Amino acid sequence: MVKHWRVDREEKYEIVEKWFLKDLEMIDGKEADTDNPYFDMHFHKVYNMEAYSCASKYTFARTLNKLNATYLKKDFKIVNFDDTYLNDGSIWSSSNRDFLVVMRVCFYASNLLCLSLCRFS
């Protein structure tokens, strides 16, 4: 856990606490259907956390999941997160694919517009 503060124009970071991934039992996103940066990490104790944004919360959960799959292969739970955004195979999962997301939304919107303008006899 990192503490962040600003002194004049300089930003400071301090490592406040460290945990081992092997001790992580569960990540609780609290509410999967709302856009909030809050989540809980369950170790021997539950820690309430706040990410910079909802997107960074999901990125953090995906990263922990990848690290676990690569190194530990331990079964820990990720609950109250939208699975669509957690899976790497999804077009919605990566911030690098924002353009593709916008294109897909525009494609669906143009299809709806075309369908609404078509006359069915």
Share of the chain above pLDDT 70, in %: 85
Longest dimension (CA), the chain: 69
Residues 6+ apart with CB under 8 A from 6: 12
How many other C-beta atoms lie within 10 A of the C-beta of residue 39?
Answer: 24
Lowest mean pLDDT among 65-69, 80-84, 113-117: 113-117
CA angle 107, 108, 112 (to 5 degrees): 120
Confidence of residue 116 (pLDDT cuts 50, 70, 90): confident
| pTM (2 d.p.) | 0.67
